[in-house]
Amino acid sequence: MTVTPPAPQTAGTPAPAFRGRIGRDARSGHYAVPGRYRLHLSTACADGLRIAVVHGLLGLDTVCPATLLPAVPDSPGGGHSVLRPLYEASTHRFTGPAVAPVLSDGWSGRIVSTHARDIMRDLARRFGGDGPSPYPRGAESEIETVERMCAQGIEEAAQRAGAAGGERAERDTALATLLETLGALERWMSGRTFLIRDEVTAADVELWTALVQLDTVHRDHLDASAVQRVADHASLWAYARRLAAHPAFGTHLDLDGIERRHRAHCHGLEAAGAAVRILDWPAHAAR
């Protein structure tokens, strides 16, 4: 078992990051036993949505049950009060926010991990069974490339491009990065149904979640011209529409929750681009 110890907590500091991993056997400490672990997720959060989709793809409702949390955290600092006992059992004198996502160990009552991508990989590798894996052999470098493109080129760039207090030049640079990344992914998708294989992988989970966030959260802070340039990537949005109709994707799409969470956390100014979403997500998810 590899664990990164959390730093000591003081009032007002962020929650500790737990990086425990689920191993193959008893020698690893946290090892794979059906029913031992539980997920605690809010699908209104991007990381929670990613984990929920992978969990659904793998069909792990019984093997590793998931507790769904409210969209808006109910305790100071952005935490969930229901998670506080887990944090207090896992960290000495814990005073920070008890945030999701969390993978907990029912045997010890403590937290294994709060790191979304570690959790996703461990679910697939330790509990995935005989079906197709979201992390197929030989695809790790491609998946990591997509993770970086989504995190830096879409989510971070979109946030900077819509920052109300940022300098105009900084916002323009961030928008250029966003559009360049979308363009690269649009070309990557040419002639493909999925990103890197002939079936759904974690790369698709990453990109789909990033596109959901782009259209439901970041779009609110972009002007109409920027939103139109984002929407012009027709292949990407057609791809997002197809995946929304997939049961493991669309059933976890909590648009009302995403909006409530965004309103609770964000105090930025809305821009002219906020009027209409690029996709009618509920209609596609219903199909």
Domains of the chain listed by start with CATH number: 26-127 (3.40.30.10), 140-286 (1.20.1050.10)
The phi and psi torsions of 75 (rounded to 5 degrees) equal -130, 160
101 by Cβ neighbours in 10 Å (0-12 / 13-18 / 19+) ranks as buried
User: How long, in residues, is the chain?
Assistant: 287
pTM given for the model: 0.91
Query: What residues form DSSP beta bridges with 39?
Result: 66, 103
pLDDT tens track for 46-68: 999 999 999 999 999 999 999 99
Judged by average pLDDT, the poorest of 75-89, 115-129, 158-172, 215-229 is 158-172
Residue type, 170: E
169 by Cβ neighbours in 10 Å (0-12 / 13-18 / 19+) ranks as exposed
* Encoded tokens for 217: 């959260």
d(CA 81, CA 69): 10
d(CA 214, CA 241): 14
pLDDT tens track for 92-139: 889 889 999 999 999 999 999 999 999 999 999 999 877 789 999 999
